[in-house]
Amino acid sequence: MSNLTNEVESNLPGYKKTAFVCPFCGVYAHQSWDIHLQNSNRGSSSNYSKYELLTSRCHKCHEDCVWYNKKMIYPVNTGLPRAHSDMPAEVRTLYEESAQIYNISRRASLALLRIAIEMLVNELSGNSGGRLFDKIGTLKSKNIINDMIQEAFDSFRVIGNQVVHPGQIELDDNIDHAILFSILNFMVDIGIAKPLQIRKLFEDSVPDPQKEAINKRDLKNSTSMKVNPPEDDLPQK
């Protein structure tokens, strides 16, 4: 086993470990353990069952993991990616519920994911009414999303419909639907996180006179008025 694998494994959650990477906040953090139920085998009968229920509390986010007989039973390890940190709260709740049941009922999980997508579309369009089909079209026509994101939204919509209206269109079980979770995170990154980062970069790094020159340039581009470039943009002599 490589050193890197060793290191990753040693950071994973484990029974009675004093620190591990918290499944809630993703931070390597100190953990305090509490015993809630313990029934050790003190009797002579072999039928006398042993059980133990503990919680580990993360010192960073204060969330509790639940451990039954040395195994973590909550949160369930889904193997799916964690929700993007900029995912809107309502979308995140559905994303996490969907991930929790993905390995139990893929159809139920995908039905929740379709609602999550509709909420994300509503968030981006500022409009909660109407059909998802039309709202995606509006986002595209207003240049709020590009072709790639539009295709992703429509894929979610169609897969969601296959789940919600079984019999009409069949869900293709050969498709690895787990990829939808990564795609949803990617859409949050492209649709919400990156625009915020770019706006902040522009606001923080471009001085007001430059912003004025940029506004004039854009006005010129729309009216064909001639505008001199700012000094620092003049060609090198």
Interacting residues toward Zn ion by CB under 5 A: 22, 24-25, 58, 60-61
**Of residues 56 and 98, the one with the C-beta less far from Zn ion:** 56
What's the per-residue H, E or C state across 16-30? Answer: CCCEEECCCCCCEEE
**Of residues 72 and 171, the one with the C-beta less far from Zn ion:** 72
Name the minimum Å distance from CB 91 to Zn ion. Answer: 21
**Of residues 21 and 115, the one with the C-beta less far from Zn ion:** 21
* Preceding amide of 13 cis, omega within 30: no
Name the minimum Å distance from CB 182 to Zn ion. Answer: 22
Tokens of 170: 């069949």
Of residues 101, 83, 102, 100, the one with CA closest to residue 92? 83
**Of residues 24 and 68, the one with the C-beta less far from Zn ion:** 24
**Of residues 22 and 54, the one with the C-beta less far from Zn ion:** 22
Name the minimum Å distance from CB 156 to Zn ion. Answer: 29
Is the Cα dihedral 169, 170, 175, 177 positive or negative?
positive
Name the minimum Å distance from CB 16 to Zn ion. Answer: 17
Name the minimum Å distance from CB 29 to Zn ion. Answer: 5
Name the minimum Å distance from CB 36 to Zn ion. Answer: 19
Name the minimum Å distance from CB 78 to Zn ion. Answer: 17
**Of residues 25 and 115, the one with the C-beta less far from Zn ion:** 25
Number of residues assigned to the chain:
237
Are residues 44 and 83 in contact, defined by beta-carbon separation less than 8 angstroms?
no
